[in-house]
Structure 1
């Protein structure tokens, strides 16, 4: 322990404690901008500078440690003046047209500048002229980048995708794509973690809200919306609503106020996915001599993009089942169109997803209906649907709950937990157990695959065999697992991979809380909802059973293969042969 004095407050802290952490323990706030604990502690922005007695130079608080007897002044004139100059210099190279920025009101630079009482910039503006593609799902606004390096760190250290890097030298130093000229030509998985870790609006998703509004206002279009499981754990956050109040039924009410015709639940097609993917797995383990293991889940398009780009030798081991988003689109433009007795081209299918990769997925040439139109016309992130609701001047807290529409408004608890890491595996095992034993297990029998650990393993007895499964979340952990598989250090039968840390609840399209990882807060909401539901098994979903009885006949039938499965080689990642 060392003794230090911070702004006149004497405290004891463990040696090697940073000045920033020591100040926090003393109840003293030091502003930061580029800092992210255990990820980006490089002092790039120099907003956290403090004065230490006995030294002429200022110290960055985020990456300098305390020493015995150190006397620190966090807000002396010298520190305060330097801090303001640093912020003004950053603003001189930043597009400060905040009124039309998606991060206005939720921007760390904006808050720091306001807190420091910065109201003018005495330096000449120098904005880069580079422009990212406005058509790609991930957009980089070069004139908003503050060179904090957070996107590089999360992409390298957490996601192992290595898309961003420092380029140029001297005053021309900036952050840009590495290994490709344009972002759309890179091997980006579109996980969106660079967006949620960016403190400003330099990275954002392509906004498709206007496309949805155009469809709603088109009298020839029937707008059908599906809501992903993880959305119900997060959509109320920007409105200051508790999860208990911000239910999926209240979101349905908001969407109907916007003007959509039908509001359905992606939990329905999550259950449908389990029936197809679970049956596919059982068929494979029944004929191990003809198959390679492990079989990997395929519901996360970020993961699919990553494995195609980095480990193409494993692509054939992906489940051929489409993601719940795409299964829904396929069903909406076939079975549902027939029920409505309308041409499928009249249906405009919208998904609300926690994800940018979903925007890319619905545009793949392998995801078209019989008429050559996209099965899912448009995918909105959670942030976009929040902006859509605000743009329509809807006061969410005044809305009553409204039931989702039928026949796709029913989802099981198993479908609900798809949004958390381990949820797909648990849902699949619940139904696989039933399909083998013709009786339900305890719904929580497979809960050992839950939790935020990056790589989890478990063994279960199924069909007289010991089933070895693994669950990973975050592409960095997926990279480790795939490396171990290649080296023969581990062997599994079934593996679930989610691209985002914590699963979809921590998705790149979810509401941003700077410096806070929200997945551990959101996942328990989904499990709590699962536990309180009467329907906890995918195979007991009455709407799923009805669609098999009336349309698909059985999982893996010819029609099910045609509509609910895909060829992962039917589209290419940049650079893929």
Structure 2
């Protein structure tokens, strides 16, 4: 594979040709802030928070859509870059609801993290009008507050490219621009299947999983990676626990692979079912009867042997018939 040599923050690096400056910086261990960029999705280069300074360039290009070149000299935290990022954050904060203390995304919000990183607080020099969109709480799966949306477009990209749907897109113009369904209806009136991929990929509190609202903060959860067994797709996700109780599930990789279906995300409710049995069930005379694990494990090899003999017999009959 061809490679190029460049300098990032004074550090010489040899990276594969064709990758972006953002990827090269991450390979060298530098953290470049991003809003609209997500691995496995097309980078729109819209939010501009990932700008860097490149020697000889007149502007500050977005690193997520700028390809590396031989001899390139990049600064990811120069005074000009920091000033540009701080200005972008101040403009976002100026129109953003500052209810971080009660926001469900607190502790897992990129806007909150970057505002802390670059020392942005309210009021900002650009303090202006707050958006007054109606909150969409019409369905039991997704709580949608467009007033907190920063228009990064990641939900649109993942719905269109990965979930193979186009339920949402940009609507209206200027200050009133928002992410909306066709004709700006509620999600319950659209063809949304509630895979919740848009929720998992949202960097702020605009989209929230209603199943987990009010049950805890991100830092209070313990996580276990599991594989869903509702079908043969084998989706991987994290089961979130708090004080030993299952709170909900979150996608392991929200930007790639299959979305979590409703069964996969809501199947944890079966754990709280009072009729749930911890014993295996065996079909006896057409009725499933709870038996001990010893009996069930003793039956399993017999069933496997019967199935093996049955398949062998079917193969022999097929050979005789031909």
Q: In 1, distance between residues paired with 2:242 and 2:45?
A: 45
1:152–1:8 Cα change, 3 Å: same
Does the CA contact (< 8 Å) of 1:162 and 1:178 recur in 2? no
1:194-343 equivalences under 5 Å are 194-206=198-210, 238-239=219-220, 241=222, 243=224, 254=244, 302=262
Q: Which residue of 2 aligns with 1:439?
A: 303
1:42–1:412 Cα change, 3 Å: farther
**Residue among 67, 75, 97 paired with 1:95:** 97
**Residue 157 of structure 1 pairs with residue 21 of structure 2:** no
Structure 1 unmatched ranges of 5 or more: 213-234, 245-249, 257-299, 303-322, 324-352, 359-378, 382-402, 414-430, 446-460, 466-577
1:208–1:21 Cα change, 3 Å: closer
1:375-524 equivalences under 5 Å are 408-410=276-278, 439-440=303-304, 464=314
Does the CA contact (< 8 Å) of 1:236 and 1:242 recur in 2? no
Structure 2 unmatched ranges of 5 or more: 226-239, 247-259, 282-295, 316-322
* 1:463 Cα deviation after fit: 9.3
**Residue among 142, 148, 152 paired with 1:148:** 152
* 1:404 Cα deviation after fit: 8.9
Q: In 1, distance between residues paired with 2:280 and 2:218?
A: 24
Q: In 1, distance between residues paired with 2:219 and 2:313?
A: 46
1:328-367 equivalences under 5 Å are 354-355=265-266
Q: In 1, distance between residues paired with 2:313 and 2:157?
A: 44
Q: How many residues align structurally? A: 266
User: Could you say what secondary structure the match of 2:34 adopts?
Assistant: coil
Q: Which residue of 1 aligns with 2:69?
A: 67
Q: In 1, distance between residues paired with 2:313 and 2:100?
A: 59
* 1:150 Cα deviation after fit: 0.6
Which protein is richer in strand relative to its size? 2
Does the CA contact (< 8 Å) of 1:161 and 1:189 recur in 2? no
Does the CA contact (< 8 Å) of 2:221 and 2:241 recur in 1? no
Does the CA contact (< 8 Å) of 1:209 and 1:380 recur in 2? no
**Residue among 126, 130, 135 paired with 1:132:** 135
* 1:135 Cα deviation after fit: 3.6
Does the CA contact (< 8 Å) of 2:168 and 2:179 recur in 1? yes
User: Could you say what secondary structure the match of 1:4 adopts?
Assistant: strand
Q: In 1, distance between residues paired with 2:272 and 2:184?
A: 44
* 1:99 Cα deviation after fit: 0.7
1:125–1:411 Cα change, 3 Å: farther
* 1:36 Cα deviation after fit: 0.4
Q: In 2, distance between residues paired with 1:36 and 1:145?
A: 17
Q: In 2, distance between residues paired with 1:404 and 1:45?
A: 43
Which structure has the higher relative contact order (CA within 8 Å, separation 6+)?
A: 1
1:85–1:179 Cα change, 3 Å: same
Q: In 2, distance between residues paired with 1:149 and 1:463?
A: 57
* 1:242 Cα deviation after fit: 6.3
* 1:124 Cα deviation after fit: 2.5
TM-score relative to the length of structure 1: 0.41
Does the CA contact (< 8 Å) of 2:220 and 2:242 recur in 1? no
Question: What does the per-residue CA deviation read over 1:360-388, in whole Å, with 9 as the maximum and x for residues that have no partner?
Answer: xxxxxxxxxxxxxxxxxxx979xxxxxxx
Q: In 2, distance between residues paired with 1:255 and 1:61?
A: 42
* 1:126 Cα deviation after fit: 2.7
Question: What does the per-residue CA deviation read over 1:437-466, in whole Å, with 9 as the maximum and x for residues that have no partner?
Answer: 971369xx9xxxxxxxxxxxxxxx69949x
1:122–1:3 Cα change, 3 Å: same
* 1:142 Cα deviation after fit: 0.9
Q: Which residue of 2 aligns with 1:283?
A: none
Q: In 2, distance between residues paired with 1:127 and 1:106?
A: 22
Question: What does the per-residue CA deviation read over 1:462-489, in whole Å, with 9 as the maximum and x for residues that have no partner?
Answer: 9949xxxxxxxxxxxxxxxxxxxxxxxx
* 1:253 Cα deviation after fit: 7.4
**Residue among 101, 104, 107 paired with 2:106:** 104
Question: What does the per-residue CA deviation read over 1:19-71, in whole Å, with 9 as the maximum and x for residues that have no partner?
Answer: 01111122222111221012141122111101111111001011111111111
* 1:155 Cα deviation after fit: 0.8
**Residue among 14, 18, 21 paired with 1:19:** 21
Q: In 2, distance between residues paired with 1:242 and 1:150?
A: 25
User: Could you say what secondary structure the match of 1:88 adopts?
Assistant: helix
* 1:412 Cα deviation after fit: 5.7
Q: In 2, distance between residues paired with 1:33 and 1:193?
A: 16
